[in-house]
Amino acid sequence: MSLSRRHVITAAAAGAAFSGFARLADAASDTHAQVEADLYHSEVAGYGPLKTDPFGLFDLPEGFSYTVVSRAGDPMSDGLVTPRKADGMGCFGLGGSRVALVRNHELKAYDADFGPFGVGHGLAGKLDAGLAYDRYGDGRALPGGTTTMVYDLRARRLETVHLSLTGTSTNCCGGITPWGSWLSCEEIISGAGGQKDHGWVFEVPASHRGVVEPVPLKGLGRFRHEAACIDPTTGVVYLTEDEGDGLFYRFLPNDRRRLGQGGRLQALGFKDGGGDARNWDAVAWAPVQWREAVWIDLEGVDNPHGDLRARGQAAGAARFARGEGVFFGRGELYFTCTSGGPARFGQIMRYRPSRFEGDARETDEPGRLQLFVESADRRLMNMCDNLSVAPWGHLMVCEDKAEPGGVNYLKGVTPEGKVYTMGRQAQPGRSDVGANTELAGACFSPDGSTLFVNVYEPGMTVAIVGPWGRFAA
């Protein structure tokens, strides 16, 4: 691989930061070599085979390079510490060559020492106490939330990074809004370790320079949220749920720009009946098949008893196998189901809204859902998670395999549904010691020049550049 000088400098520094983690995998490296030789698989040529990264962090095709933008444990501009468990992320233009990246940190109650306040919460005094959504019984803020980075695309340099949401729990993924904010989703409804209810969505304006006031958007429901996206034409919000029998939701807001003003929450069902989209025990539909949608009104969306999806299913809502990332592209959206399909290697769904989405007229011309991709080969795609739509219409899909020795890939998918390999997090995971190298947060800069990706644990954000126009079908 052709490496820029900045690539060499930042990768070398990152290599030092990861050296302890690398030692965990050394003993199993011989086994991994053959496994990885068998795992590389593509349906189209794409950008070509991956080249081994000499620094052992991220393998990419010839001509592509990465810069390490941020690492867990780095000091932030506000005097706090960059948290671990980097998950979902959105990118926003700030003018010129500068962008803001709002990044989730999926920290749970037991992750207090890995949060922004450092070991023992020694830096907690730097935060206005009123800006934490929830706290442990002893008064410490829960560690989950978001950080916001300002990055210069031209200089390939991080300018600032600061804490932007705190006191939440298990902030998994989320989604961008058309007005320049990030919807940060909590993937938990019980066991958060604090004193308030959890399982909400919070809004973080990308241009805000500090910690936002944490206001749960309760109309979007309380459940194990994974991700969200918004149709910029209609303002409808679509939401996924990370449960083995989760629902796919939409929210019809009363005010498109002020989601806290309430609205109607609904769940998707199929017009032809048949409420199981997972293809687990019986194949309900075939890849590329389309089905017409119906949307079912939900009541009691604050879900005090944790039974929202059960009530939705009883009313006719369809079940999906761990809904994960969702992203709105050109007039349609895509979302992943991590464990869908007969082999449970994952599915990608494509939804095309009705011309009358959310209107009574959609009964006669409903939206349609397609089983866009269903993996039958773990080498092709295994446990698809976060995803985004590139400016040229391809999907970039992150894998999340947590098995011992698992190596997660960044996969591309063409508009025709053909899968190719785009990258590989080169450090094997070790679930037996709690080290997961899940990829997450894939998102493009508005100009399409840079793809940002997070390595979940211990936590790192990279910026990938290269000859994106060189794709070969």
Q: How confident is the model at residue 16 (pLDDT cuts 50, 70, 90)?
A: very low
State yes or no: pLDDT of 402 exceeds 90.
no
Q: Give 89 or 10, the one with higher predicted confidence.
A: 89
Q: How confident is the model at residue 40 (pLDDT cuts 50, 70, 90)?
A: low
State yes or no: pLDDT of 470 exceeds 60.
yes
Per residue in 410-464, pLDDT (tens digit) is: 999 999 999 999 999 987 655 444 456 889 999 999 999 999 999 998 799 999 9
Please tell me the predicted confidence (pLDDT) of residue 41: 83
Please tell me the predicted confidence (pLDDT) of residue 7: 34
CB atoms within 10 A of CB 332: 16
Order of strands across the sheet that contains 248-253: 225-230, 237-241, 248-253, 263-270, 290-297, 368-374, 347-352, 333-337, 323-328
Q: How confident is the model at residue 473 (pLDDT cuts 50, 70, 90)?
A: confident
State yes or no: pLDDT of 19 exceeds 50.
no
Per residue in 245-290, pLDDT (tens digit) is: 999 999 999 999 999 999 999 999 999 987 999 999 889 899 999 9
Q: How confident is the model at residue 403 (pLDDT cuts 50, 70, 90)?
A: low
Give the pLDDT mean for 368-386.
96
Cα separation, 116 vs 405, whole angstroms: 29
Q: How confident is the model at residue 407 (pLDDT cuts 50, 70, 90)?
A: confident
Confirm if 268 and 317 have CB atoms less than 8 A apart.
yes
Please tell me the predicted confidence (pLDDT) of residue 6: 32
Please tell me the predicted confidence (pLDDT) of residue 18: 34
Give the pLDDT mean for 128-133.
93
